[in-house]
Amino acid sequence: MQHPIVRERVNDFFGSNFTVKKDFSSDKYEIMHNGKKCLDFEFMVDDPTDDNQMRFIKLENRTKPRILKVSGVFKCQGDERKGASLMRLIDRLAESIPFVEYITLMDSSNIKICDVSISLAQLKILTTGQSWYNHFGYKTKWHDANVAHNAVIINTRIDDISDKKLIETTGKKLFPELPTTMTVREYVQAVLDSVRQFPEKCTPYQREKASFLKTLIFELGWMNDLQYSNWDLIKIVERRIKSSPKASPRSPKVSPKASSPKASTPKVSPKASPKASPKVSPKASPKASPKASSPKASTPKVSPKASPKASPKAYTPKSGGNKRSRSNKRVNRNARNNRTNRTTKHKRRS
């Protein structure tokens, strides 16, 4: 089964720096450069892993190739074609195809020094604790347990290894400067550092050293029960959540609305300040000053009159009311007396 989006994405990622070869009856690809194979992979629908072994994905919809299976990663020329660069391209390719869920591969990696093929997986585990593919996220469900088990082995001193005949004989002959008090990790790393820069065409002595490294890592791994499952390594495809492009322009639109109270204040203040200050203050100040001082002038007039007459015990409104009633009674009496006097005089005259 062929899918256009798969073919399109493969050409996008590998078309410029590589030659893409595709099988016409399936989604299987070979990535070439100058006639040499760099990558070999295919897109599959069925889950190739053993369900009892792997803890990962159970596919429900098996209509699309959800598995990217890498069959081989080979060394090619150029920095963009090295092993690490090729693995990053594989990751980006899987992320770009929405229905691809995970990548699987079998670790059969090796390196060649003086035409001697050395297991890269065992070499990396003995020097770093993890294989080369483990560093890129390809693991099995036993990965954590294997790492813990192997850490004990690689941190053991050479003197404490049960069978160190190879190191005491060939090792002391080829590398007399390396003490046996070193740990397994340190010893293997020191041997690797001394042979990794050998040219392609080596001398017999250089080839003997490279062969010793191959035998060393094999015996250390086999005799000490180095644990690593190199079949069906799996990496889950993790896609980054991209922020929507519409969300970013909205933030500047919200800020001016939120700052509207700040924007309104400068508009009101310049209008209010010139009108209120010249018109109100000059007119109010001369006219209001004498009126405002009148309460101060009235207080001395009221206080001297009220102070001598008002008794401290009586309430002033009641006392004022009593005085008015008494004065009214006197007026009435005087009016009656006047009337009586008038009548009396009139009688006398008559």
pLDDT averaged over 10-residue windows placed end to end, the chain, 350 residues: 84 92 88 93 74 48 78 83 92 94 94 95 97 96 96 95 90 96 97 94 96 96 90 90 54 46 46 44 42 43 43 46 53 63 53
**Residues 192, 203: Cα–Cα separation, whole Å:** 17
pLDDT of residue 17: 87
What pLDDT does 1 receive?
Answer: 55
Contact yes or no for 140/234 (Cβ under 8 A): yes
How far apart are the C-alpha atoms of 239 and 54, rounded to whole Å? 22
Domain spans of the chain, in order of start: 1-105, 108-130+142-228
Residue 237, burial from CB neighbour count under 10 angstroms (0-12, 13-18, 19+): buried
Cα separations in angstroms, 145 against 101, 124, 135, 150, 161? 25, 17, 16, 9, 22
318: phi then psi, degrees, rounded to nearest 5 = -70, -40
Q: Please tell me the distance from the alpha carbon of residue 162 to that of residue 141, in angstroms, as a whole number.
A: 30
Hey, is 124 helix, strand or coil?
helix
Q: Cα-flanking dihedrals φ and ψ of residue 160, to 5°? A: -90, 0
Q: What H or E segment, with its residue span, contains residue 21?
A: strand 19-22
Return the pLDDT at 279: 45
Closest CA to 72 of 89, 86, 55, 85: 86
**How far is the C-alpha of 29 from the C-alpha of 2, rounded, in Å?**
12
Sign of CA dihedral 47, 51, 56, 59: positive
User: In 224-259, which ranges are continuous DSSP H helix?
Assistant: 247-258
Report strand pairing: 233-236 vs 116-119: unpaired
Give residue 337's pLDDT. 65
Predicted confidence at residue 69, as pLDDT, reads: 95
Token pair of 121, please? 């997986």
Q: What Rg value do the Cα atoms of the chain yield, rounded? A: 53
Which residue type is seen at 3?
A: H
